[in-house]
Amino acid sequence: MKLGMIDYGRGNLRSVINACRALGHDPVLITKPEELADLTHLIFPGQGAFGDCMESLRRLQLADPLREWISSGKPYFGICVGYQLLFDASEESPGTAGLGVVNGTVKRFTSNEVKVPHMGWNAVNLKVPDSPFWKGFEDKPYFYFVHSYYPAEVDSEVISATCEYGQEEFCAAIEKGNLLATQFHPEKSQHAGLDLLKNFLNR
């Protein structure tokens, strides 16, 4: 296995690197398309605004190689903005197209009944409990969230887990083949997060 991690200058890399090292893997930081060539697994930890992150990917010429990586079925784990960028667009950055790997638009929480951002621990409802990504998990594991936006109108066939916040239930994770992406932060989710990362790396 050779694990790579997208470094676009904005992500929370240190925590994710430490989580991977705790599992016995030392990821290589990726800043150029040619550095993807020898990898077997790829993690995209995201932090920052949707538009800024897409601009960074285009500047580094990584947007199209990422689409190709995912379409070829290679293992990909997107975290937070690395999850949101998979969709078509986001209300956070009108006029900016996402990677468009999955249909849907990222929208902002609008209910007056909840605090924005959604921050802290919350349970997720597993929709594909027999998935190898969720091996060893109970029905409602807890993970750590920090976000104001979430993907909406997501195809039910790719929804891996949902989360309830106030009266709203949103898509908290998707999976398709070797692709896994989560709105929550596994690197901040203690044992549950490490178990999920471990399942991904064992694909």
Confidence band, pLDDT 50/70/90 cuts, at residue 27: very high
175, two tokens: 């999976």
CB 118 within 8 A of CB 182: no
CATH code for position 57: 3.40.50.880
- Specify the number of domains making up the chain: 1
Residues with catalytic function: 80, 185, 187
- What is the Cα–Cα distance from 61 to 153, expressed in whole angstroms? 29
Mean pLDDT of the chain: 95
Quote the pLDDT of residue 48: 86
Quote the pLDDT of residue 46: 79
CB 27 within 8 A of CB 17: yes
Quote the pLDDT of residue 9: 81
pTM of the model: 0.95
Confidence band, pLDDT 50/70/90 cuts, at residue 112: confident
Tally of helices (H runs) and strands (E runs) in the chain:
5, 12
What distance lies between CA 157 and its chain's CA centroid? 17
Q: Kindly state the average pLDDT of the residues 77-92.
A: 97
Q: Which of 174, 166, 90 is nearest to 128 (CA)?
A: 174
Q: Kindly state the average pLDDT of the residues 139-167.
A: 95
Least confident of 8-17, 52-61, 116-125, 135-144: 8-17
CB 6 within 8 A of CB 44: yes
Distant-in-sequence, close-in-space partners of 116: CB < 8 Å, separation ≥ 6: 108, 109, 148
* Structural domain of 123: 3-201
Quote the pLDDT of residue 11: 64
74: which DSSP letter? -
